[in-house]
Each structure stands twice: as structure tokens, then as C-alpha cells.
Amino acid sequence: MNWYPLTFQPIYKEKIWGGSKLNSLKKVHPFIPKLGESWEISDVGNDISIVDSGSFKGRSLKWLLENHGEEVMGKRIFEQFGTQFPLLIKYIDAAQDLSIQLHPDDAMARDKHNSSGKTEMWYVMDAVEGATLTLGFKENCKESAFAKAIHNNNLPALLNSQKVKEGDAFLIKPGFIHAIGSGIMLAEIQQSSDVTYRVYDYDRRDDKGKPRDLHIEQSIAAADYSKAENYKLAYNFQEQGVQELGRSDYFLADILQFEGQEPIDLHPRDSFTILMNVGDDCELEQDGMIYKFSNSQTYLIPSVLTNLSARCSGNGKLLVVHL
């Protein structure tokens, strides 16, 4: 079996808050108005990724895992997850503010949705001047105060607003209330789940003039009421080479910043590796083969591959994700 770095057909999601950046970066044709998300690697519900090049072109991620699970995932990961891919990988373009929301943990998600919970990580790829994220409560909050603020339609007054710039990164744990603000594009790494509790949406209406559904009771039950702390991930923006970026029980994410040729360490993790290009266009080289790697593109590197390197004549920045 001749394995190679795998790319998948993006699964595009039009959103009420979506913009135009992903259309340009992905060269989407025909143009999709309000394109909010590009699901790069997905095994969620009916949104199953399809390989878009090479000898596996047209095969689904599900087919790969059912027929070559250990080779793709690695023995350790395959024994843990079987034919369910454990991560959902996205790029998000917010032209307007997203709803204020939170996610359940594993126990609540299994009980109510037959799903995993959602821990996620954000890496800010672009942000207009003054752009902000909503991240947790300003101070410790009581459940009754949360419920009252929702009822009185002034929830944002309780919440922490964080100005952001390109390169900032954040870990979003279950129960942590959050929202992406307008003018921000980011890369998102998350558990394989699409369960979101929307708690506040600025009284917006959908394209049929109806308010979007809110999940008030679930949000009150799932929320983490502690003061927002330790959510921003620390690393050196200028340092070349690999640095650990984010660590959770569900994934590990490094950032590789480089210029020129740089080897990519794929082992000894016994895991697949996901590469997300959050910098300048570059190339991957594997056993003498060259693969173009554009900004906002994603590769899944099967566990069996070795001898991978990246080359960039400009400002190379890759998120390197594994389990």
C-alpha cells in the first residue's frame, strides 16, 4: 500500500454570520454567500470527509478507517476509537458576531445527545483592529445571576471580552461560555462533536424572519460559573521550530514556525498527524514527492508515514495536531 499525505474535499457551511474570506482562500466556485465554516476533516453525522486526490480519491474517511484503520490512526489510537475519527477540524470566518454559546462535557453529551462532549482550541489567523472574543465570566457567577441575565436580555454584561490579534490561541473547555467576534478568522481543533448550546443571539432572525433556537435550560445546567482564567495559550510568536501550543485530554497541538526546509516529527507518537497551514503557502515533501500546501489547507498524515518535511520561502506556520 502506497500511503501519502491525505487531503479531503472541504465541507462548506453557510452561516448567518459568515463572510467571504474562505471563498477567496479556498477558491470556492460558485461563490457561497456568508460562508462561515470549512470542515476540513469530519466524521460527524452525515458530514463524512471524502479524499480529494491520489489513489484513495473518492473514498470516505469512514471507508479508510473501516479498511485501514490501524494504518491511518496508529495502533494505539485505533484500539481506543475504532472506526470513529476522534477530531473535527475546521476553519471559521466570522463577518458578524457568533452567538454566545457553550458546550456540554462528555457525560452530559452522552446522556442527552449520544455524542462526545466538545473541548476545542482556537488559533487566530486574522483579526481586524479591535476584534474581540467573548471568553467566560468576568467574575465568579451564580446560576441564578446567569439565569436572570438571560431573562433580562443583558447577558453580555457578565462576560469577559478579550481583544485578539493574529497568532493568539485559546483552549475552550466544556461549560466555558464563549463567542467569536466579527472580523476574526480562526483555525479550530475540536472533539468530534457538533453539540452546541446557544444561549444568546442578539435577537437575530434567520432568513425566514424567525429567531434562532436558544438552549437556555441546557446552558444553565452545563455552564462553568467560575471566573475566566488560564484560557489563553502561551508561546513565543518569534521562535523558530516546534513549540507546544495546546494540550488537553483529547488532542495535543504544536505550532511549527519556520522558513526554508523543516523536518516534521511524526513519531514516536503512534498516532495520525494533522497539519493545518495557518501561515504562508508552502510545500510538503514525503519520500521525494512534493505536495502543495496553501494557507487554510489541511493534511491528514497517516500513522504509517515517515520522512516528512515542509518547505516555505516565507513565513511558514503549521499547526501540528496528534493524540
C-alpha to C-alpha distance for 115 and 45, rounded to whole angstroms: 10
pTM exceeding 0.95: yes
Is the backbone of residue 172 left (phi > 0), alpha (psi -120 to 50) or beta? beta
Half-sphere exposure of 220 (CA within 13 A, CB side): 13
Residue 211: what pLDDT?
Answer: 85
Residue 245: what pLDDT?
Answer: 97
The single residue of 76, 110, 198, 311 carrying the catalytic annotation is: 198
Q: What is the dihedral of CA 76, 77, 81, 82, to 10 degrees?
A: -70
C-alpha to C-alpha distance for 108 and 218, rounded to whole angstroms: 9
Amino acid at 157: A
198 counts as catalytic: yes
Let me know: does 258 contact 304? Beta carbons within 8 Å: no
CA-based end-to-end distance of the chain? 24
Mean pLDDT, 10 residues at a time, over the chain (323 residues)?
Answer: 96 96 96 97 97 98 98 96 97 97 96 95 98 98 96 95 98 98 98 96 84 93 96 96 96 97 86 97 96 98 95 96 95
Residue 208: what pLDDT?
Answer: 80
Looking at residue 72, the DSSP 8-state letter turns out to be H
Residue 308: what pLDDT?
Answer: 96
Helix (H/G/I), strand (E/B), else coil: 318: strand
Question: In order of start, what are the domains of the chain with their CATH numbers?
Answer: 11-222 (2.60.120.10), 241-322 (2.60.120.10)
Amino acid at 114: N
- Cα 83 from chain centroid? 20
Residue 269: what pLDDT?
Answer: 77
